[in-house]
Amino acid sequence: MKTFYITTPIYYINGKPSIGHAYTAIAADILARYHRMLGEEVMFQTGTDENSQKNVEAAKERDVKEYLDEMAALWERTFDSLGLTHNRFIRTTEVAHYNSVEKFWKTVESKGDIYLGSYEGLYCQGCEAFVNESDLVDDQCPHHKKVPKTIKENNYFFRLTKYRDDLLAYIDEHPDFIQPEARRNEVLSYVRNFMTDISISRETMNWGIPVPGDEKHRVYVWFDALINYLSGVGYVDDTTAFEKWWPANLHLVGKDIIKFHCALWPAMLMSAGLPLPKNVFAHGFFTIDGQKMSKSLGNTVDPVEMAEKYGNDVLRYFLFREIPFGGDGDFSEARLVGRYNTDLANELGNLVNRVLTMTEKYTNGTVPEVADGFLAGAWPSYHLALEENRLSDALDIVWGLIRQANQFIDQQQPWQLAKLEEKKMLNDTLYVLLETLRHIAWMLYPFMPTTAEKMFVQLGLETPKEFSQSFESAWVWGELKSGHKLAKGEPLFPRKE
């Protein structure tokens, strides 16, 4: 069976999840569900980045581990309530992860890629990274609006520059490794012109994973965090699982952490003699009123609140229809309500309601004889879009079908056909519409699983709980059998004011 290993970044838990964090995780869920629908065995991993100093600061006087347990549980509960289907929720305070970091460190050290040096520079706690003077705006980190600290320490360094040529060659030979294109160019320029060896330990910290063999140092949080992608799938404790899942098919990340994932991480893997992930895809940022949303700025939108108010499916739909995946966007509740009323209530909801009402009226709620329909190239373009992580394009394709079906009703005017007793034409029209709805439900499943299931129920079909390869046949035209009984339900999206 084909496997698909997809990851999200692991999250800092010095606050509760914002809609920006949920965005990466929901995107991963959409792709995970899509690959399950293709019949693949999927490992969808997400989790928490717990060895950061900012988590320690957030714990204040409390016991740090106790604080982290509470926050990690909160994040996991949030992801569950958002309907995410991750298979593994990793925490970097897990023993397996500690052991993975130790093994990884020793492997890289034995390659001669770690050396002791001293470092003086500006450090931004928000980024958990050294920053250059030239990155600052008014002496502040532009992302976190804080003045970075000057740090002078003896640190262990990773020979990142040793891998410069190999990285450039790899990126050149694997055009799909970094996406989208703009991000690839950004990484290339960084690797070529700016990349230096990187400090991978902290001497002055009392939280984090101790450096093997020199316990007064702690491993730099990014060096530790990236290794989660290995520890989650058995790097130290399960060779069979590790061989099955590694290398990952897709690391989904925000554009702010592309250098870590596309330069540091591949170089670390090269040093450790491990294969590189097949694809790193960076999505954009969305803003609230044009401002970057962040815990440090305090202008976050709570995804749970949005989901409770509008439903998970509506939130998922809005995020991935409104913002082209890979680009930047702006979040606005008013636009969410707007799209709810136009796209969901008027277009999708109305279509389902009209078709089922007419079928009840004209054929007593049974599926007529099979007739030819108009799916044309929808499936191939839909698959291609998702293969290339173009989530909003995939939704555009589905909405193309929805509009086509609504227009088809207006053209055919089934009520006229009934009046004129054009039985064959009426039945054919209804069949085409019902079967199109079935295909639409399948296409919607990764994006709007609850809506898709409701559509399946209304079409009198089993809901796709378990996926297997045989589902490919479900996407063939004509699978909805004549004589089959429908089960019209409540409107899917009642209009909102």
What residues line the site for ligand MSP (CB under 6 A)? 9-12, 20-21, 23-24, 49, 225-226, 228, 253-254, 256-257, 285-286, 293
Cis peptide before 449 (omega within 30 of 0): no
* Least distance in angstroms from the C-beta of 414 to ligand MSP: 45
Buried b (16+ CB within 10 A) or exposed e, 172-202: eeeeebbbbeebbebbbeebeeebebbbbbb
* Least distance in angstroms from the C-beta of 50 to ligand MSP: 9
* Least distance in angstroms from the C-beta of 265 to ligand MSP: 8
* Least distance in angstroms from the C-beta of 70 to ligand MSP: 17
Count Cβ atoms below 10 Å from residue 380 Cβ, excluding itself: 11
Smaller CB separation from ligand MSP, 212 or 327:
327
Smaller CB separation from ligand MSP, 298 or 483:
298
Smaller CB separation from ligand MSP, 254 or 324:
254
Buried b (16+ CB within 10 A) or exposed e, 4-34: bbbbbbbbbbbbebbbbbbbbbbbbbbbbbb
Q: What are phi and psi of 141, to 5 degrees?
A: -65, 125
Close Cβ partners of 250 (under 8 Å, ≥ 6 residues apart): 4, 5, 6, 7, 31, 277, 278, 279, 280, 281, 389
* Least distance in angstroms from the C-beta of 10 to ligand MSP: 5
- The position carrying tokens 């016991």 is 63
Q: Are 433 and 408 in contact (CB under 8 A)?
A: yes
Q: Are 144 and 172 in contact (CB under 8 A)?
A: no
Burial class (CB in 10 A: 0-12, 13-18, 19+), 422: middle
* Least distance in angstroms from the C-beta of 428 to ligand MSP: 46
CA distances from 497 to 266, 336, 339, 342 (A): 50, 12, 12, 12
Q: Are 108 and 269 in contact (CB under 8 A)?
A: no
Q: Are 47 and 92 in contact (CB under 8 A)?
A: yes
* Least distance in angstroms from the C-beta of 319 to ligand MSP: 10
CA distances from 234 to 2, 28, 240, 307 (A): 19, 21, 8, 34
* Least distance in angstroms from the C-beta of 127 to ligand MSP: 8
* Least distance in angstroms from the C-beta of 59 to ligand MSP: 16
> What DSSP string runs through 121-135?
EEEETTTTEEE-GGG
* Least distance in angstroms from the C-beta of 456 to ligand MSP: 32
Q: Are 171 and 165 in contact (CB under 8 A)?
A: no
Smaller CB separation from ligand MSP, 127 or 401:
127
Smaller CB separation from ligand MSP, 10 or 71:
10
Smaller CB separation from ligand MSP, 24 or 78:
24
Q: How far apart are CA 390 and CA 440, in angstroms?
A: 18
Smaller CB separation from ligand MSP, 148 or 368:
148
Smaller CB separation from ligand MSP, 9 or 446:
9
> What DSSP string runs through 429-448?
HHHHHHHHHHHHHHHHTTT-
Of the candidates 372, 359, 353, 374, the one whose C-alpha atom is nearest the C-alpha of residue 484 is 359
Burial class (CB in 10 A: 0-12, 13-18, 19+), 66: exposed
Smaller CB separation from ligand MSP, 252 or 434:
252
Smaller CB separation from ligand MSP, 14 or 201:
14
Per the DSSP assignment, residues forming a β-bridge with 218 are 202, 210
Smaller CB separation from ligand MSP, 45 or 155:
45
* Least distance in angstroms from the C-beta of 342 to ligand MSP: 24
The SS3 of residue 342 is: helix
Q: How far apart are CA 12 and CA 18, in angstroms?
A: 11
- H-run or E-run covering 182: helix 181-193
Residue nearest to ligand MSP (CB): 254
* Least distance in angstroms from the C-beta of 284 to ligand MSP: 7
Smaller CB separation from ligand MSP, 23 or 220:
23
* Least distance in angstroms from the C-beta of 419 to ligand MSP: 53
Smaller CB separation from ligand MSP, 286 or 318:
286
